[in-house]
Amino acid sequence: MIADNENIARAIFSPRMIINGVIQPEAFCLRSSIQEEYISVMRMSFPFWLDDVKNIPQRKNRKLYGYAEMLVNDIRSIQLKGVLYDVRECPTDSMPSHAGIFITVNGENLVGGKMLSTVTAGVEQDFLTLAIQRELVDIAQKGLHEL
C-alpha cells in the first residue's frame, strides 16, 4: 500500500508531453497500442527512483525532459464525478520503484483504447478522458523538474 503522504514522479518526455515548459495532457495518456491499464510513475521514497526514471528508454523522437513530482494524496483527492484515482505499487526487477496511477470511471477500469460501457462512446468519452488528464496535469505542473 502506498501512503497518501508519499511523493511519486512521472517521467516527462519531449516533445509530446511538454511544450515550452507546459505539461500536455499527452503526459497522462493511456496507450491504446498496449491497452495500458495505468500511468507509470516512480516512488520517490526509494533511494534509486531517479535512476529508474533515467533508465526509461529514450528514442529519436522521445527525449527525457525531466519529471513531475506529485503527492499521492493530491491524486487520490481529485474530485471528478464518477472518477476515482489510485496509486498502487507495480515493481519490476529492473524498476523496483515503479508504481501506477489507476483510474476507474463509474467502477470500470480505464484502459487505453478500450471504450467504457458506462459512458456514451465517442465525444463523451473523449471529453471525460481529457478532463481526467487535465486534473493530473494541474497537479504535475506544480512539481515539474527539468533534468
Q: What is the DSSP string of 10-62?
A: EEEEETTSEETTEE-GGGGPPPTTTT--SEEEEETTSTTHHHHHHTS--BTTB
Q: Read off the pLDDT of residues 22-78 as tens digits, 9 standing for 90 and up.
A: 999 999 999 999 999 999 999 999 999 999 999 999 988 899 999 999 999 999 999
pLDDT at 112: 93
Question: Residue 123: what pLDDT?
Answer: 65
Residue 145 to residue 137: CA distance in whole angstroms: 14
**What distance in Å separates the CA atoms of residue 29 and residue 5, rounded to the nearest whole number?**
24
The SS3 call for residue 78 is coil
pLDDT of residue 122: 64
Report pLDDT for 119. 78
Model confidence band, residue 126 (pLDDT cutoffs 50, 70, 90): confident
pLDDT value for 121: 64
Handedness of CA 78, 42, 106, 133 (dihedral sign): positive
Q: Are 131 and 17 in contact (CB under 8 A)?
A: no
**What is the per-residue pLDDT for 106?**
92
Instruction: Give residue-wise pLDDT tens across range 77-120.
Output: 999 989 999 999 999 999 999 999 999 999 999 999 998 888 77
